[in-house]
Structure 1
Amino acid sequence: MSSFTREIVCRTSPYSTCGCCLDGCRLEITSVARVCVSSNAACPGDDRSRFEVRPVSDRVINTKRLSERHGAAPPVCSNHCAPNDNSWCARRDHALPDLVPYVPGIDPDTATRFHSRDSPATCGGIQSLLFIYCAVNRPAVIQQAESALASGTRVPDPECLWLSLSVLLYSDKFAEVTLHCERILRTGGRALPRRSVQIAGLVRARARALRGHCLDAAAELQDLLDGGLPAGLRGVAVAWLLEALAGAGETQQANQLLLGDRFGPIDELPDQAHIHAARGAVQWADGRYEQSLAEYLTAGRILADLRVANSAIVAWRSRAALAAVTIGRTELALALAEDELAIARRWGAPGAVGAALRALGLARRDSHSTHVLERAVELLQLADARYELVPALCDLARLHVENAEPIRARTVLVTAIEYAVASGNRAWLEQANALLPLVSERRKSPKLTRQEQKITRLALEGLANKDIAETMFLTIRTVEFHLSNVYRKLGISGRSELRDAISPAECA
């Protein structure tokens, strides 16, 4: 074994060529070994490096102070780094235990039997999960999961099935997850263990909730819990049920579930990070933002202790940031949103990046916020993550209203309403409809000068700028200047939106 020491400093980039770290974390490589992910054998040509992590930048130090002051979990600097090629091998941290202490949805007694190098029963899922924890190797873990779930092979063992479906879920592959689950459920019956059928139903319900069908997902999750899920899955299932109910606006039912012990005392269920985050979602939907923030930060502390950096497991940072913004704790919100974005970009799932950008845009509230939220909406649409998308569209509409851009706000709200109707989500529909009067009020009586009115009327008649200039004996540049003023006053971007923004009668 050779040994050497060299330093890599990540200041503004969420990753480096040799080591993966959050902003401002210095990775000091102290020794090198070799290991292969796909088997227990040595893997020539790929390094496994052991790291010591030391914060060096002011931003990270200040964020740590912020965390201590506001009670947030400190940023988790992941010590794992991906190889420079697409092989299955990767470096691992010396602090990574041989026995994995935490696997979501699997009771601790079973989880402690899992070795970080995997076994045939887990089909590469443990290594994939560890990569997800530190937000690296997303293409590789997706490939591994798809290989395990390939339709030409038999349905894998329950542990392998759960891990592979979870990997796709955490990677924003909601459509693929749904197809795999439905194929497994069609097989069903005596051909599969009962637990495999339960796992497929559970993951399908979660994918439905994340794609906006919260009521359908809640009903499915309720049936699964009533039918008796294994103890290890019960905590995740209850948490996902609570979040589905919160997303559907069914906060009364969610609070009854929190107060009762229908599925056992809620504080004694496994996967408490998921439970606390679900409580935060319910309290957010109920308008109890201080309590929501506290629950999300508690979830973050639990995950930090478990060395889980990636919010694909539980999106606590972005949602805590939203709660912090709402109650005026902007400094904390900004720190959380920036950390979330760094990790989400390293992981590369569009939904995760979109959710982080939404939180960042609202936390910053500067001249770039609208652009940041527009990008967030694009990525959430790409992921079909409607659970986050519709609220983000409403946030974007509010920004357009504040910026006196009523036509853009109306366009965004129409999109939000279409998604809400398609999802059958009454709470989202009410949220979007509540903003429509603000758009209507801002649209009344645009104050155009007489010259602007004449030019606008001719533009509405279909005349080009050159023809308007000839008709009014003006230069083309003057026409363009007046039209740009009209677009600004009406809150539109150009001619394509002009007819919807003002009628010819208003230009008479």
Structure 2
Amino acid sequence: MSRPDSGRTGCLAAMAIHQTFRGANFPEAARLAQAALDARSCRDDPVCVWRAMVGLIAAGDLVTAGAHAERLLDDVNPDLADERRRRTMHAQVRGQIARLSGDLATARVVLADTPPARSSLRLLSAALLIEVLVDAGDVDEAEKTLLANDFNHELCRPSAMRPMLLTARAAVHLAKGHPLAAYIDYLVCGQDFLAMDVTSTAIVPWRGKAALAAHAAQRVELAQQLAAAELAAARRWGEPRVVGTALSTLGRVRGDDGTALLTDAADLLAAAGAQHELAATRLELGRRLAARGDTRAARGEYASAHTSATRTGNPAQLRQATEALAQLAPAPAQALTRQEDLVAGLAEAGLSNRAIAQRLFLTVHTVEAHLSNVYRKLGVSGRKDLSGALRAR
């Protein structure tokens, strides 16, 4: 990571990264980043392209970032060190896009296969990989990666990369049940960022992460203060994923009073396509609703979390959703309409939605709507549970 004022005067990529680090007005950051990719002075410079990628990813424009990521490999200099640097930056961009898209398996492969590079770039790849591993529930492998890259030694010396390394180590601390150690790392991460004039929550939402660590350590008031500050910073930036994640964090640390915040967060995260964060939010909503005795609503949230976790291939979230659904009282039987019964039977037989639509002279959208009603009425999360539910009627 470089300082926000780095780069030549008037460079659009430098202006984009400066806007991103300031943490306000994400549409302007995205506009500058896209302009940099079109500018003759920036489009062939790998550092400028990388800065533009950072701005686009932070602004939630993963499609444009992905479409231009291959530019980092264009006109590779015959010099081996420069080629490795380009390939490493390319892997980091692809890994971040995959992670934020909810494709943790791809993110893990891409970041684990990052080419050898100079120390700072290698460490950044390792830090990104560690967070992916924690997200996927593979905490032991995350800890091994942290130790293999000697993070504890690297963190003893100040550097522009240190906040990212602190974030990765904090994620491991929190996942291993050491919330105070995680809180301290997140706090130091924030101090380092502020010292570099990086106020954006889109780079690392350190206040929100520190809030969750403080909450896990039973520091409820501190957690709520940090989460409120995170939400204020997220709203200044304005990007839906960032705001949704901040709302979810505040909802979690607010206890029962935070249920409405979690609901709003789920809506924003769904719109942003943030499947990993959405699954976590739905799971928490399900727990709150189940504790209130609203079994039907809880089942809906758990089923939605199960769907999101299936899309991301996240085994930890998938297991939590499956276990939560199994622990709920059986759903009261609701009669299927004749059309729903026909659609359910064909789906159980293995026909695709398109094949069912053709068989029954319906649109695919209508078939999807009927199946959604079937799942809700039978209290199941998808096709794999249809057979048992239909036979149990």
- Residues 1:287 and 2:194 aligned together: no
CA distance in 2, matches of 1:434, 1:405: 17
- Residues 1:337 and 2:238 aligned together: no
* Cα deviations by residue, 1:314-365 (Å, 9 ceiling, x for unpaired): 1111111122222321101110111111111111011111111011112222
Q: 1:188 to 1:283 in 2, by over 3 A?
A: farther
Aligned residue number for residue 404 of structure 1: 293
- Residues 1:204 and 2:94 aligned together: yes
CA distance in 2, matches of 1:346, 1:496: 42
CA distance in 1, matches of 2:175, 2:102: 15
CA distance in 2, matches of 1:276, 1:423: 26
Question: Conserved in 1, the CA contact under 8 Å of 2:22 and 2:198?
Answer: yes
Aligned residue number for residue 220 of structure 1: 110
**One-letter identity of the residue aligned with 2:222:** L
Q: How far is the alpha carbon of 1:372 from its aligned partner?
A: 0.9
Question: Conserved in 1, the CA contact under 8 Å of 2:25 and 2:236?
Answer: no
* Cα deviations by residue, 1:484-508 (Å, 9 ceiling, x for unpaired): xxxxxxxxxxx9999557x9xxxxx
Aligned residue number for residue 57 of structure 2: 169
Question: Conserved in 1, the CA contact under 8 Å of 2:173 and 2:182?
Answer: yes
Q: How far is the alpha carbon of 1:264 from its aligned partner?
A: 9.9
Q: Which residue of 314, 326, 345 corresponds with 2:216?
A: 326
Query: TM-score normalized by structure 2?
Result: 0.76
- Residues 1:266 and 2:154 aligned together: yes
Q: How far is the alpha carbon of 1:205 from its aligned partner?
A: 0.7
Aligned residue number for residue 314 of structure 2: 425
| More displaced stretch, 305-314 vs 330-339 | 305-314
- Residues 1:384 and 2:273 aligned together: yes
Q: 1:119 to 1:151 in 2, by over 3 A?
A: closer
CA distance in 1, matches of 2:120, 2:15: 20
CA distance in 2, matches of 1:146, 1:191: 28
Paired positions, count: 341
Q: How far is the alpha carbon of 1:151 from its aligned partner?
A: 10
Q: Which residue of 127, 135, 138 corresponds with 2:23?
A: 135
CA distance in 2, matches of 1:190, 1:393: 47
Question: Conserved in 2, the CA contact under 8 Å of 1:135 and 1:309?
Answer: yes
Q: Which residue of 334, 357, 365 corresponds with 2:247?
A: 357
Q: How far is the alpha carbon of 1:137 from its aligned partner?
A: 3.0
**One-letter identity of the residue aligned with 1:259:** L
**One-letter identity of the residue aligned with 1:137:** N
Q: Which residue of 40, 45, 48 corresponds with 1:157?
A: 45
- Residues 1:256 and 2:144 aligned together: yes
Q: How far is the alpha carbon of 1:145 from its aligned partner?
A: 0.6
Q: How far is the alpha carbon of 1:286 from its aligned partner?
A: 2.4
Q: 1:113 to 1:157 in 2, by over 3 A?
A: same
CA distance in 2, matches of 1:408, 1:191: 60
**One-letter identity of the residue aligned with 1:176:** T
Question: Conserved in 2, the CA contact under 8 Å of 1:114 and 1:126?
Answer: yes
CA distance in 2, matches of 1:498, 1:208: 30
Query: TM-score normalized by structure 1?
Result: 0.60
- Residues 1:373 and 2:265 aligned together: no
Aligned residue number for residue 45 of structure 1: none
Question: Conserved in 2, the CA contact under 8 Å of 1:221 and 1:241?
Answer: yes
Q: How far is the alpha carbon of 1:184 from its aligned partner?
A: 5.2
Q: How far is the alpha carbon of 1:201 from its aligned partner?
A: 2.2
Aligned residue number for residue 32 of structure 1: none
Q: 1:388 to 1:266 in 2, by over 3 A?
A: farther
Question: Conserved in 1, the CA contact under 8 Å of 2:170 and 2:185?
Answer: yes
Q: Which residue of 268, 281, 303 corresponds with 1:414?
A: 303
Q: Unaligned 5+ residue runs, structure 1? A: 1-103, 447-455, 462-494, 504-508
CA distance in 1, matches of 2:75, 2:312: 27
- Residues 1:394 and 2:283 aligned together: yes
Q: How far is the alpha carbon of 1:444 from its aligned partner?
A: 7.0
Q: 1:113 to 1:144 in 2, by over 3 A?
A: closer
Question: Conserved in 2, the CA contact under 8 Å of 1:213 and 1:423?
Answer: yes
Question: Conserved in 2, the CA contact under 8 Å of 1:273 and 1:298?
Answer: yes
RMSD: 3.3
Q: How far is the alpha carbon of 1:370 from its aligned partner?
A: 1.8
Question: Conserved in 2, the CA contact under 8 Å of 1:211 and 1:386?
Answer: yes
Q: Which residue of 111, 114, 124 corresponds with 2:6?
A: 114
Q: How far is the alpha carbon of 1:389 from its aligned partner?
A: 2.1
Identity %: 29
CA distance in 2, matches of 1:433, 1:372: 24
Residues 67-82 of structure 1 aligned to structure 2 (within 5 Å): none
Question: Conserved in 2, the CA contact under 8 Å of 1:344 and 1:352?
Answer: yes
Question: Conserved in 1, the CA contact under 8 Å of 2:72 and 2:89?
Answer: no
Aligned residue number for residue 313 of structure 1: 203
CA distance in 2, matches of 1:221, 1:245: 10
Question: Conserved in 2, the CA contact under 8 Å of 1:188 and 1:197?
Answer: no
Q: How far is the alpha carbon of 1:429 from its aligned partner?
A: 1.1
| More displaced stretch, 152-161 vs 370-379 | 152-161
Q: How far is the alpha carbon of 1:244 from its aligned partner?
A: 0.8
Q: 1:125 to 1:149 in 2, by over 3 A?
A: closer
Question: Conserved in 2, the CA contact under 8 Å of 1:161 and 1:196?
Answer: no
- Determine helix, strand or coil for the equivalent of 1:312: coil
Residues 485-496 of structure 1 aligned to structure 2 (within 5 Å): none
* Cα deviations by residue, 1:165-202 (Å, 9 ceiling, x for unpaired): 001111122232222214655x5767996233432221
**One-letter identity of the residue aligned with 1:423:** T
CA distance in 1, matches of 2:112, 2:377: 49
Question: Conserved in 2, the CA contact under 8 Å of 1:236 and 1:270?
Answer: no
* Cα deviations by residue, 1:365-413 (Å, 9 ceiling, x for unpaired): 244x222101111111222223322211211111111222212211221
Aligned residue number for residue 36 of structure 2: 148
**One-letter identity of the residue aligned with 2:92:** L
Residues 94-105 of structure 1 aligned to structure 2 (within 5 Å): 104=1
